Amino acid sequence: MEAIYLIGFMGSGKTTVSRELARRLNVAVYDTDEEIIKMKGKSINEIFAADGEAKFRLLESDVLRSIPSNDAVIATGGGIVGLEENRLYLKNKVNVVYLHAELENILERLKDDDSRPLLRKDKLQSAEVLYSKRLPLYRGAAGIEIGTSGKPITRIVDDIIQRM
Which residues would be at the binding site for ligand S3P (CB under 6 A)?
10, 14-15, 33, 44, 77-79, 116-118
CB of residue 33 to ligand S3P, shortest distance in Å: 5
Give the nearer residue to ligand S3P in terms of CB position, either 28 or 110: 110
Give the number of other Cβ atoms within 10 Å of residue 43's Cβ: 14
Give the nearer residue to ligand S3P in terms of CB position, either 95 or 138: 138
Give the nearer residue to ligand S3P in terms of CB position, either 79 or 97: 79
CB of residue 150 to ligand S3P, shortest distance in Å: 19
Gap between the Cα atoms of 28 and 148, Å rounded = 22
Give the nearer residue to ligand S3P in terms of CB position, either 37 or 162: 37
CB of residue 49 to ligand S3P, shortest distance in Å: 12
Secondary structure E strands in the chain: 4-7, 28-31, 72-75, 95-100, 144-147
CB of residue 23 to ligand S3P, shortest distance in Å: 19
Residue type, 52: G
Q: State CA 127 to chain mean position distance.
A: 15
Gap between the Cα atoms of 68 and 1, Å rounded = 11
